[in-house]
Structure 1
Amino acid sequence: MKKVLVLNSSLNGEQGNSTKLSQQFVEQLANNQQISVTTRDLSDNAIAHLTQTEMAVWMTDANERSDEQKALAAISDDLIAELNDNELIVIGMPMYNFGIPSTFKAWIDRIARAGITFKYTEQGPVGLIANKKVVVLAARGGLYQGTDMDTQTKYLKDVLGFVGMTDVDFIYAEGLAMPGAEQSLEAAQNEIKTFAAAL
C-alpha cells in the first residue's frame, strides 16, 4: 500500500482550485492502487512563523528541554516524522503574489533542519530525506509557466531538493482568472488522470 501525504495551503480551503486538483489526483491514484492518505491543510491549521526561540530549542539537548521547549520542538519533529512516514507527497499549490503561501513557507521552515533533513559537507549541503516522490498541483490565476515570473517552480525544486526530495513533478492549471479557465482546468484534470495512472 502506498502512503500518501497531501499538503494543501489554499486560503479558500476545499473550494480552492489547488485543493480540488490535489483531491482529484488522490482520487485518480486510488482508482489504480491501494493508498493510505494523510491530509494536512496548512491554511486551516496554520503553523506560526518560525521564531528564534523555537529554532534555539532544536539546538538544546532533548533531556534538558523544559515542557515549553518540548512542545516547541514537537512542532518540527512531528512534521518531519509525518513527512518521513509517507513515500508520495502531493502538494496543492496556489500562487499568491508570485510566490508560495506563507503557511507553506512556515512548513518548509520546520522540515528543513540541519543534521536532521540535511547536512553540510565539504562538497556543500546534502539532503537526508530519501526515496520520496513529489507531485505539485499548481493553480494560478494568470499565465506564468516557463516565464521569469514563475518563481514558484524554481523555488520548490530548489528547497525540496535541498532536503533530498529531488524527484519533483508539476501539473499546472493556469489562467484560472482569465477567459478559458474551464479549458485549462480540464487540461490539468486530463494530465492528472494520465500521471496518476503511471505512478
Structure 2
Amino acid sequence: MQILHIDSAITGDASVTRQLTAKIVARLNADGDATVIYRDLNQGVPAIDTAWFEAIRVGVEEPTPAHQDRVATSDTLLGEVQAADVLVIGLPVYNFSLPGQLKNWLDQIARAGVSFRYTAAGPEGLLTGKRAFIAYAAAGTPMGSDMDHASGYLRHMLGFVGITDVTFVAADGLAFDRDAAMARAQASLDQIAA
C-alpha cells in the first residue's frame, strides 16, 4: 500500500491536523509495510496562473522555462496522487474554509483528461479506487454546519477526480472544549482499519 500524507496547517507542531494525520498514517501503517510519501503544503504550492494555463490546458508549441516549470510541478503533485492507494489530508479550517495552499494543491491536480474528463453524462473522475482520510480541525466551525465551507468543498473536489471513499476524523469546537473535540476525533480514529 502507498500512502500520500498531506499536511497544510500553518501552526507547526501545535497543529491538531498534523497530530491527527500522523495518527491516521500510523494506524494505517501499523504493520510497517506501507510506503509513505509526505508532502507539507505549507512549504509552498504555486497557485495556477497564466503560464500554467498555457502549458497545461492550451499546450504551447514552444514552451518557455516558466511553462516547463509549471508542468513539472503539476506532474509531480498529480503523480503522487496517481501512485497512492490512500490519501491522508490535514484540513485545518481558517476563516471558515480550507487553507490557500490546499486549494492550490487541488487546482494543480484537477487536470482535464488526466484526473477527470467531461462526458455526455457529466464529469467523470479518473483517480478511482483510492481511499481518503481527512483530519478536520476547527476552533469554532462545526463540521457540516452552514459556516463550514471546507469539508464539503474538499469532499466534492476529491469526488470530482474520482476519490469517493472519504472518511473524516473531526476535531471541531476546539475553542470551546478542546478535550471533548480531541476525544471525538480519537473515537473516529479508533474506527479506522488498515
Determine if contact 2:116/2:124 at 8 Å carries over to the other structure: yes
Match of 2:178 in 1: 181
Structure 1: 5+ residue stretches without partners: none
Which has the larger displacement, 63-72 or 150-159?
63-72
Q: Counterparts of 1:28-47 in structure 2 under 5 Å?
A: 28-32=27-31, 34-43=33-42, 45-47=43-45
CA distance in 1, matches of 2:150, 2:66: 35
* 4+ residue segments displaced more than 4 Å: none
CA distance in 1, matches of 2:167, 2:29: 19
Q: Which of 63, 66, 83 is the aligned partner of 1:65?
A: 63
CA distance in 2, matches of 1:19, 1:80: 22
Match of 1:53 in 2: 51
* Cα RMSD, aligned residues only: 1.6
Match of 1:126 in 2: 124
1:10-48 CA deviation, whole Å, 9 max, x = no partner?
0012321101110111122222562111111101x2112
Match of 1:22 in 2: 21
1:101-156 CA deviation, whole Å, 9 max, x = no partner?
00000001100011111111111111111211001010110151232122222111
Identical-pair percentage:
33
Q: Return the offset for 1:71.
A: 1.6
1:151-172 CA deviation, whole Å, 9 max, x = no partner?
2221111111111111111111
Structure 2: 5+ residue stretches without partners: none
Determine if contact 1:125/1:162 at 8 Å carries over to the other structure: yes
